[in-house]
Amino acid sequence: MIVVGAGHNGLTAGSLLAKQGLKVLCLEKTNWNGGQAASKELFKGYKHSVGAWALLVFRREMLKLLDLEKYGLELITPESS
């Protein structure tokens, strides 16, 4: 199975397909994976979470579906923005 795009959606799709036993290849046109989930150095010495805003719409069901807590992911919900 070939997944075009190694952003957060492509990686999620690839992970779910692999969990079903399929061989998966994720292809990405840029030189980094993760898309909006990546951290990029926008200015020398300063890394920025490109898509941190996307956590506002993150569905907690994805934590369980992808076993993300097994890899140490912990979502913290702030009291205010």
pLDDT of residue 81: 63
The domain total for the chain is 1
Q: Is residue 22 part of a domain?
A: yes
Which residue has better confidence, 10 or 58?
A: 10
Tokens describing residue 5:
């795009």
**Interval 38-56: pLDDT, tens:** 888 878 998 877 777 667 7
Q: Is residue 29 part of a domain?
A: yes
Percent of the chain with pLDDT over 70: 96
Q: Is residue 81 part of a domain?
A: no
Q: For all residues of the chain together, what is the average pLDDT? A: 85
Q: What is the DSSP string of 3-69?
A: EE--BHHHHHHHHHHHHTT---EEE-SSSSSBGGG-EEEEETTEEEETTGGGGGG--THHHHHTTGG
Domain span at residue 28? 2-41+49-71
pLDDT of residue 73: 83
